Structure 1
């Protein structure tokens, strides 16, 4: 298997705390697949027509912050096993850490883009993004003071916007995962030090903030989130990609199906770890360099502007092109060889003038609609994995990064 150097994962000239340790970091403050089958249409008021949209089918849960509205709309048809000799689909999963709206308009921008290109995505919601700062004493993070948060809290206006976008995202067919709460990456309170029991406590709190936002805010004039979050929640990404070893026992206990927290993965087919699908961010080619970069916007930034979120504006066009080319190179390498799934992690941030958001948009536009390409959520991807023959998946895992099957896919599977 290809060896990816430590430098490629942490960023050129950066330490672990600066790059992998900071992966997934972002501030909530305003800045200085294609879906396989169409589903019910959405009306102007944000309600979808048909099942799973509300009306008589709505069953409010708890204080009415969430509701059981039936099956999620806009989902692909049931996955089926690969046929003998069939070329595997090229899955591409775009995911968003935090998933809060802070007035930049990035959340609706990518919801619109996903709809335009028939894509599903995963939104890893930070639970405290639905908790008013005036109620921060309700959050008791492990090994940190009450109410502490390294990403702060949203304003009331931005909480309302986030609620609306999360509601729309689910109705559009996207997955709502979790990015937990306070995003602690360093010191004695870092998530890297949390025990399985502490992770379970953190998850309980994240779920409570999502399912009790109406109680915590006092708002009664907003629609409930149209899903049962405890049932919908099947996967996560940890802050800074830290702490996976102790998270997994808690996640397995809760019946989760995957985890996307591992750093330093390669573009090969995944396997399970402690009973969950391990879906790591991956090393991808970094144009102009001999090392690879992690497939996340922050890690590209860390290499380009040496960990500064606002670098040299005159370099933004070149950096935007380099980020786009990195994503496309990662896609092309898999698409033209082993068809390993491609995972891209993002944040709703305008770092370096928003060039990484532009790079993601351009990548989606360039790859959507290509033969066999499916832009899906993590949940939809593991649905597909779970119906495959384990022997077929094991055979796929024998293909290294960039390795095409000898004799083509038909011959490759005949050897299985």
Structure 2
């Protein structure tokens, strides 16, 4: 039996090598779907919107089948139900077909397994749904070294990014922010680079927190090489992720594409220190485009290392960040001092303080945050809703702005 013109037994062996220990044996359908997701990390460059479009409309498996079959433009148009989109696909085929070799795709799984990597797909429990906000530019799958469950911490996280050529000032502020965020149960996301990124990871680890590193190249070789030990520590305590498979080197383009994952994964992005041409400005642009909160740390006007941050404050509407509390406020919202405390019961105050203006929180989560019984939380939410201070959104509650 074959799939994508490859023996199904070979596909199964490849897939099972990148599953966590103890995972149940996948069905044949799951093998095909997971292999297709992994293949789409090999064929296009990161962030290829046309590849994302065909996966969105046809699914990873059907899209790969059409590619392997050498389907004509007319067939793609018929499957997509969109002639205009099919023209974009024709250009995409020219990019993807040179990489369409069974050996290349199978090697991604083999090399990944050799370095203890897991392939994480949308079908998996720990897939970070925040990445889906990238739409057709979202990754087909992620390669992970470490504990995939650590990605759940990114639901309440801050990206601390900045210049590779950081100053003592930038590193001091980064360390203070990271430690303060850990104390407020935030995870820290960054890119593993020299300078601000590395300081963010180290400070988070030193404070006993969770930090996730997002790399631009394959995880068979950590980059930069000088951060091999640091990234190994990140992988041991949480995880290091990439959308590029093993064997893919980091390049300037891939760094820029990687930045969109950092911005999407984190609840808020903070640029701590950046020159006018820093790649962290690109990360900030992605955060702004996604509607994520954006902050920047001001610095001396005489320092070129602060020009990027000052530009974000002037042109991007970034919020001035001086300490960790300011970062938390961008996610949870400021404490509403205009509402007299004596106008609310003590339970209402506790629930109101536990609500976020951005992230919807279920009653059970609010019970954990407040130390109250779930039925008391529900009663307080009803009163806060009557007072237009809370609103139900989806499966949770948010603080009214």
TM-score of the pair, normalised by structure 1: 0.26
TM-score of the pair, normalised by structure 2: 0.27
Q: Greater relative contact order (Cα 8 A, min sep 6): structure 1 or 2?
A: 1
The structure that is helix-richer by fraction is 2
